[in-house]
Structure 1
């Protein structure tokens, strides 16, 4: 959650859409995720509670997960290079 009176980007866009006279039925972050999971098969069966603060690894059915990068790496480009080729 953004600090103070700041709002999440999706909330700003939702309010702008409503101010312009439109509405897409999205009023909460749960509504956003529900719509995403209805359109993205890899998200089916997930909820924001299941994802939690740490997230989950989601891959396409025909795609194997990428190996993790070295968490100690200070340079993200070098960390990416340390992954096996083609991943």
Structure 2
């Protein structure tokens, strides 16, 4: 796994210790390999956050955004525009 992708999680470990999986558990679960297999993100920031979610011992709160996710799935033009705007982050 790229060092840049792990950077956000490393930062968050400094912010709060509870909830982070120990390094031995991450290795046992092959977190790096899992992240690479399920990564469909389009930016480094997205990959960093995905990796962080896999490294903490908590259930993701993505279900709070279910209505927005459904809206973006149905409306191609909004989804395309959002992708274009977020794509600019990739080049920064």
Q: Which has the larger radius of gyration?
A: 1
Which TM-score applies when normalising by structure 2? 0.26
